[in-house]
Amino acid sequence: MSTERISPKPVAAQGGPTADRTARLAVTVFPLLVLAAGGVGLSAPAHFTGWAPAVPYLLGVVMFTMGLTLTPPDFRTVVKRPWAVGLGLAAHYVIMPGLGWLIATVLDLPPQLAAGVILVGCAPSGTASNVVTYLARGDVALSVSVATVSTLVAPLVTPPLTLLLADRFLDVDAGAMVGDILRTVLVPVLGGALVRAVAGRYVDRALRALPWVSALTISVIVLVVVSGSAARIKDAAGLVLLAVVLHNALGLALGYASGRLARLGPPASRAMAFEVGMQNSGLAASLATAHFSPAAALPAAVFSVWHNVSGAAVAAWMSRSRRA
């Protein structure tokens, strides 16, 4: 799930073997935590009845930790390379929502699942995209800038896109969705950035712990989402997994292709692949639970595991490839 920054920028900035080990550990452990949480929710759903209202607050914690990692240099790339950042932003909010609608239509998904897949596509970039870009030897500065800007504009972009593409499947209250994104995403991110600006010395000491706080929080979100629809998962698991794998794989491929077609160069194209193909599925799960149903949150829960596994695998291949 865009995850919160599974690995804060300082890991990428430090470089060296220690940074590699820390980043790889975060990307490896996070999917395992999420998978374990999903297993617990599936096997003992009754223990978590009534937890759904806590999901927006949990997401707020995740986004606050993301804000704590933001510094002024994150926005310099926007000023120095507005074309590249603008292209990444446009590719993200065109390719993934469009793919979500296309996959939902071609697979003839039930309305709840279709709306969930589309909502995942309309979410901002996944925060784990930054560390995966680093592992792929991609353009980390571009990745951070696109992820940050896509998160900040999410209140203005995600609701209308969801209304446009998902309204044929379920009723979408775009106005209420704007309010939810402001409360659970924008306010916590800006609050975290403000705390970092005021108390940077103290925040720096805690940076290494932030990925694990985020990973554990996202895992609890998945646990709640899965437990809320455990009875339906057995019937729809195969179909949801197919939709998620297609959505993620095509997003990675088309994101990379958009960078190459724009002649951004291999490092920037790698960043584009992960900024397009990896989503903030934590936000998608929260919105789906609040505005649709637990069943609509299933694609986000599955995406939260899969995109980290696939992202790490693609990053490993890219880091060893001279052509990509």
Q: Give the whole-number percent of the chain exceeding pLDDT 70.
A: 90
**What pLDDT score does 97 carry?**
97
3: left (phi over 0), alpha (psi -120 to 50) or beta: left
**What pLDDT score does 15 carry?**
47
Residues 6+ apart with CB under 8 A from 197: none
Residue 7 reports pLDDT greater than 60 = no
**What pLDDT score does 271 carry?**
95
**What pLDDT score does 324 carry?**
66
Q: What predicted TM-score, i.e. pTM, was given to this entire model?
A: 0.86
Residue 311 reports pLDDT greater than 60 = yes
CA distances in angstroms from 158 to 33, 51, 60, 283, listed in the order given: 27, 25, 17, 10
Interval 103-160: pLDDT, tens: 999 999 999 999 999 999 999 998 678 888 888 889 988 998 999 999 999 999 999 9
Interval 222-247: pLDDT, tens: 888 888 777 777 777 789 999 999 99
**Listed range (2-11, 24-33, 154-163, 187-196) with the worst mean pLDDT:** 2-11
Kindly indicate the confidence band of residue 31, based on its pLDDT and cuts at 50, 70 and 90. Answer: confident
* Coil vs helix vs strand at 279: strand
Residue linked to tokens 């880091």: 319
**What pLDDT score does 41 carry?**
86
CA 1 distance to own-chain centroid: 4
The DSSP 8-state label assigned to residue 125 in this structure reads: B
Radius of gyration of the chain (CA): 18
Where do the domains of the chain lie?
9-320
Classify domain 9-320 by CATH architecture.
Answer: Up-down Bundle (1.20)
**What pLDDT score does 2 carry?**
42
Residue 262 reports pLDDT greater than 80 = yes
Kindly indicate the confidence band of residue 20, based on its pLDDT and cuts at 50, 70 and 90. Answer: low
| Mean pLDDT across 265-272 | 94
Interval 185-214: pLDDT, tens: 999 999 999 999 898 888 888 877 887 888
| Mean pLDDT across 163-179 | 92
Kindly indicate the confidence band of residue 18, based on its pLDDT and cuts at 50, 70 and 90. Answer: low
Give me the count of residues in the chain: 324
DSSP 225-255: HHHHTHHHHHHHHHHHHHHHHHHHHHHHHHH
Kindly indicate the confidence band of residue 22, based on its pLDDT and cuts at 50, 70 and 90. Answer: low
